Structure 1
Amino acid sequence: MSIIICCGSQVLLPDSNILQPATIIIEANSGKIVEVHRQLLSEDLLPPHVQLINAGTKVILPGLVDAHVHLNEPGRTDWEGFYTGTRAAASGGVTTVVDMPLNSIPPTVTVADLSVKRASAQGQCFTDVAFWGGVIPGNQSHLKPLVEAGVKGFKCFLIESGVDEFPCVDENDLKEAMSILENEPTNLLFHAELDSHSTSEDKPSDLTSYSTFLHSRPDNFEIGAISLITRLQKKYPSLPCHIVHLSSSKALPVIRDAKNAGLKLSVETCFHYLCLTAENIPRGKTIAKCCPPIREASNRELLWDALKDGTVDFVVSDHSPCVQELKRIDEGDIMGAWGGISTLGLGLSLLWTEASQRGISLAQIIDWTSVKTAKHVGLHERKGKLQTGYDADFIIWDPDAEFNVTEDSLEFKNKISPYVGLKLRGRVEKTFLRGSLIYDRVSGFDVVEPKGELL
Structure 2
Amino acid sequence: MPLSEPSPAAVIRSRRAVLPDGERPADVLIRDGRIARIAHHGVLTEGAVTDLGETVLLPGLVDTHVHVNEPGRTEWEGFATATRAAAAGGVTTIIDMPLNSIPPTTTVAGLAAKRKAADGQAWIDLGFWGGAIPGNTAELEPLYRAGVFGFKSFLAPSGVDEFPHLGPADLERALAEQARIGALAIVHAEDPAVLAAAPQRPGVHYRDFLASRPAAAETAAVERLLEAAGRTGARVHILHVSSAAVLPLLRRARETGVQVTAETCPHYLTLAAEEVPDGDTAFKCCPPIRDESNRDLLWEALGDGEFIAVVSDHSPSTPDLKELRRYGGSGDFATAWGGIASLQLGLPAVWTEARRRGHGLVDVVRWMAGGPASLVGLTGTKGAIAVGNDADLVAFDPDAEFAVQPDRLHHRNPVTPYAGRRLTGVVRTTWLRGRVVDVTAEPFGRQITRS
Q: TM-score, normalised by structure 2?
A: 0.95
- The one-character-per-residue Cα deviations of 1:386-426 (angstroms, maximum 9, x if unpaired) are 11111000000100000000012211100100001000001
> How far is the alpha carbon of 1:185 from its aligned partner?
3.4
Over 3 Å counting, the alpha-carbon distance change for 1:140 and 1:40 in structure 2 is same
Quick one: distance in 2 between partners of 1:191 and 1:452? 28
Over 3 Å counting, the alpha-carbon distance change for 1:197 and 1:185 in structure 2 is closer
CA contact (8 A) 1:158 1:191 kept: yes
Q: Are 2:202 and 1:175 equivalent residues in the alignment?
A: no
Where does the alignment leave 5 or more consecutive residues of structure 1 unmatched? 440-444
Secondary structure of the equivalent of 2:192?
A: coil
CA contact (8 A) 1:196 1:220 kept: no
1:39-438 equivalent positions in 2, closer than 5 A: 39-41=41-43, 46-47=45-46, 50-197=47-194, 203-204=200-201, 206-237=202-233, 239-330=234-325, 331-438=330-437
**Matching residue of 1:36:** 38
> How far is the alpha carbon of 1:195 from its aligned partner?
2.0
> How far is the alpha carbon of 1:73 from its aligned partner?
0.3
Over 3 Å counting, the alpha-carbon distance change for 1:355 and 1:203 in structure 2 is closer
Secondary structure of the equivalent of 1:12?
A: strand
Q: Are 2:21 and 1:15 equivalent residues in the alignment?
A: yes
Letter paired with 1:107 = P
Letter paired with 1:296 = D
Quick one: distance in 2 between partners of 1:233 and 1:384? 28
Quick one: distance in 1 between partners of 2:364 and 2:196? 42
- The one-character-per-residue Cα deviations of 1:344-401 (angstroms, maximum 9, x if unpaired) are 1111100110000011010011000000100101111200111111100000010000
Over 3 Å counting, the alpha-carbon distance change for 1:36 and 1:325 in structure 2 is same
Letter paired with 1:39 = H
Letter paired with 1:20 = R
Letter paired with 1:256 = R
> How far is the alpha carbon of 1:41 from its aligned partner?
1.6
Over 3 Å counting, the alpha-carbon distance change for 1:5 and 1:193 in structure 2 is same
CA contact (8 A) 2:199 2:211 kept: no
**Matching residue of 1:442:** none
> How far is the alpha carbon of 1:310 from its aligned partner?
1.6
Quick one: distance in 2 between partners of 1:21 and 1:198? 51
Secondary structure of the equivalent of 1:235?
A: helix
Over 3 Å counting, the alpha-carbon distance change for 1:146 and 1:51 in structure 2 is same
Q: Structure 1 stretch 83-92 or stretch 329-338: which is displaced more?
A: 329-338
Quick one: distance in 2 between partners of 1:394 and 1:262? 36
Letter paired with 2:306 = T
Secondary structure of the equivalent of 2:29?
A: strand
CA contact (8 A) 1:246 1:267 kept: yes
> How far is the alpha carbon of 1:21 from its aligned partner?
1.4
Over 3 Å counting, the alpha-carbon distance change for 1:253 and 1:202 in structure 2 is closer
Quick one: distance in 1 between partners of 2:216 and 2:53? 50
Quick one: distance in 1 between partners of 2:261 and 2:156? 20
Quick one: distance in 2 between partners of 1:341 and 1:386? 29
> How far is the alpha carbon of 1:293 from its aligned partner?
0.3
Quick one: distance in 2 between partners of 1:362 and 1:311? 18
Quick one: distance in 2 between partners of 1:344 and 1:87? 10
Moved over 6 A (4+): none
Letter paired with 2:404 = V
Over 3 Å counting, the alpha-carbon distance change for 1:436 and 1:194 in structure 2 is same
Over 3 Å counting, the alpha-carbon distance change for 1:359 and 1:137 in structure 2 is same
Quick one: distance in 1 between partners of 2:229 and 2:195? 27
Secondary structure of the equivalent of 1:353?
A: helix
Secondary structure of the equivalent of 1:372?
A: helix
Residue identity (%): 46
CA contact (8 A) 1:84 1:411 kept: yes
> How far is the alpha carbon of 1:289 from its aligned partner?
0.3
Letter paired with 2:362 = A
Over 3 Å counting, the alpha-carbon distance change for 1:313 and 1:202 in structure 2 is closer
CA contact (8 A) 2:271 2:289 kept: yes
- The one-character-per-residue Cα deviations of 1:190-248 (angstroms, maximum 9, x if unpaired) are 100002348577752x51110111010001100000000110111122x2100000001
| RMSD of equivalent CA atoms | 1.4
CA contact (8 A) 1:350 1:425 kept: yes
Q: TM-score, normalised by structure 1?
A: 0.94
Secondary structure of the equivalent of 2:19?
A: coil
Q: Are 2:29 and 1:25 equivalent residues in the alignment?
A: yes
> How far is the alpha carbon of 1:176 from its aligned partner?
1.1
Instruction: Determine which of 2, 6, 9 is the counterpart of 1:3.
Output: 9
Over 3 Å counting, the alpha-carbon distance change for 1:400 and 1:202 in structure 2 is closer
Over 3 Å counting, the alpha-carbon distance change for 1:198 and 1:257 in structure 2 is closer
CA contact (8 A) 1:69 1:97 kept: yes
Over 3 Å counting, the alpha-carbon distance change for 1:450 and 1:254 in structure 2 is same
CA contact (8 A) 1:438 1:449 kept: no
> How far is the alpha carbon of 1:52 from its aligned partner?
2.2
